[in-house]
Amino acid sequence: PGTFMLDTEGRVIERFFEQAYQERFTVSSIMVALGEAADGTDRNATRLTTDHLEALAYPTDRTVAPGNRFSLVVDVAPKAGMHVYAPGAHSYQVIRLRVEAPEFVRAHDVTYPAAEVYHFEPLDERVEVFEQPFQLVQEVTIPMTREIAGMAAQPDATLTNEGVLEYQACDAAICYTPVELPVSWTLEWRPLVR
């Protein structure tokens, strides 16, 4: 099972496959994976603000069903003169999205964009950072089981994924105390059509 993305001339430019036919990427999650900006303000977004950065956390889909593979997104904008650490060959605390999803949900690895290299002249140190706005994407799969289908069929049922955005920010002179920002995404269930 899979989804093919075509360009305007009908050529396949991307493909998205799953191991089981019961589990499929949502269109919104595919668009985010392709770098198409989702409008977080239109998707049950939560705004997070600290002295170091602004962030907007939102799901790619407002409603989900058993078998959906969707994404939890955090758009991060470091404030002027600030940077946070990206994954790389260093021992600094990397910005991290830790999702504590319900047991029946499968969380995949967080997707990071390409990092910039910051040169800290006093130590002649070069380290991977994010200084410009960037996006963290956590893909999540809801397995297709009878029990989960039963939950989705309940009236007014919701699915909540809790999480924490962890980071340590620095400017040209100071590295600030590490921060943990709680975040959650609440989605409505869409029952299966039989």
pLDDT one digit per residue (tens) for the chain, 194 residues = 788 989 999 999 988 887 778 888 998 998 898 887 665 545 578 999 999 999 999 999 999 999 999 999 999 999 999 999 999 989 999 999 999 889 999 999 999 999 999 998 888 899 999 999 999 999 999 999 999 999 999 989 999 999 999 999 999 899 999 999 999 999 999 877 76
What are residue 129's DSSP bridge partners?
Answer: 85, 116
What are residue 46's DSSP bridge partners?
Answer: 57
Q: SS3 for 22?
A: coil
Give pLDDT, residue 147. 92
Task: Determine if residue 156 is left, alpha or beta; phi over 0 gives left, psi from -120 to 50 gives alpha, anything else beta.
Answer: left
Q: What is the DSSP annotation of 123-190? A: GTEEEEEE-S-EEEEEEEE----HHHHHHHTSTT-EEEEEEEEEE-EE-SS-BPPPEEEEEEEEEEE-
Half-sphere exposure of 93 (CA within 13 A, CB side): 14
CB atoms within 10 A of CB 11: 8
